[in-house]
Structure 1
Amino acid sequence: MNVDLIGAGLVIIGAGIGLGKIGGSAMDAIARQPEAAGKIQTAMIIVAALLEGVAFAALFAV
């Protein structure tokens, strides 16, 4: 069994969990403060893009 593939899989699973938590937390924050929705959404998109970059890097590193 290739250890690199297991590591890449764990990184991708972690990224998926992280994206779910980011989205859920952003929705909670927007529900609490609807007037700050634009700022929250912008921050969420930036963090999600960086997290997806890490996941793609793990895929291509294998």
Structure 2
Amino acid sequence: MQYVNDSLKDNQWICGPRFSIADAYLFTVLRWAYAVKLNMAGLSHIDAYMARMAERPAVAAALKAEGLN
């Protein structure tokens, strides 16, 4: 997780400045990590990334539709 956190330090999205399919998949995997209570302490760039993802209208709508918000 530290590698992912470090990758997000200087990038808004996992592959750089533009949102990609990799972000959709990473968001899902990271939600699983939080769900199984993986230690995510100190990973502030991941926390910020998750907040950015959750603010995307399509993501917010999908989470709401699935009762995951």
- TM-score interval, smaller chain: 0.3 to 0.5
Larger RCO of the pair (alpha carbons < 8 Å, separation 6+):
1
Q: Which has the larger radius of gyration?
A: 1
TM-score of the two chains, using structure 1 as the length reference: 0.36
